[in-house]
Structure formats: structure tokens, C-alpha cells
Amino acid sequence: QVQLVESGGGLVQAGGSLRLSCAASGSIYSINAMGWFRQAPGNERELVAVITRGGSTNYADSVKGRFTISRDNAKNTVYLQMNSLKPEDTAVYYCNTRNARGSWSLSWGQGTQVTVSS
């Protein structure tokens, strides 16, 4: 099983930036891709960005051009650089891992709160 610890959230004004980090430990050999999700109050959890072990990335349309996902395989850490933040980006952000079969883990970290004020 993989354990995940997210950090880097906070309160920022619209137009500002934040960088989130997620450190993975445990059964990291099973990780094929890592991703960032977010959940705003009253909304379902949504996938924001994914990065594979080889470095391929995908983004939700709502964050394309503003967010960048990256990873440091040596540190088993994934990052989410968020620029030009908008109030609608306010949510709890979670990272997760995907195995080679394409399944996301059922285990989640505690998440990190991002609040963007207008």
C-alpha cells in the first residue's frame, strides 16, 4: 500500500500562485502514474492533472495553461504548480497513485486546502 502526504496549500489572492507537494512512501514500486484531484464543497472529487512515470501529462480543461504537474522519481514526490489562481480553484487538493492496470488507489492522503480569494 502507498502512503501519501500532501502539503503546500494555503490562502492566496486571485491571480496568485501556489505549489503543492505530495510525497509517496510504501509500495512505490506499484506506482505507474500520479495525479492531483480536488474537491470543492458540494462537488464531486475531480481529476485535475496526471503524470506518468515516463513524464507524460494530462490536464483538466479548467486548469490547462495555468497548472503544471511534475514529479521527482528519486524523491517519490509529485508537485502541482498552480498559477493565475481563480476563486473557483478553491478546494481541498488530494494526490493519488495509479497502477499499471489503470486503477487509482482507494487510499487517499489527508489533502491540503487551497483557498483563493477574489
Q: What is the mean pLDDT of the chain?
A: 94
Give the pLDDT of residue 28: 81
Give the pLDDT of residue 80: 98
Q: Which three cell numbers stand for residue 63?
A: 486548469
Backbone angles phi, psi at 30, to 5 degrees: -85, -5
Contact 8, 19 (CB under 8 A): yes
pLDDT above 90 covers what percent of the chain? 82
Give the pLDDT of residue 44: 96
pLDDT above 70 covers what percent of the chain? 100
pLDDT greater than 90 at residue 1: no
Task: Report residue 1 CA to chain centroid gap.
Answer: 19
pLDDT in tens, 36-53: 999 999 999 999 999 998
Q: Which three cell numbers stand for residue 96?
A: 493519488
Residues 6+ apart with CB under 8 A from 57: 49, 50, 51, 69
pLDDT greater than 90 at residue 27: no
pLDDT greater than 90 at residue 29: no
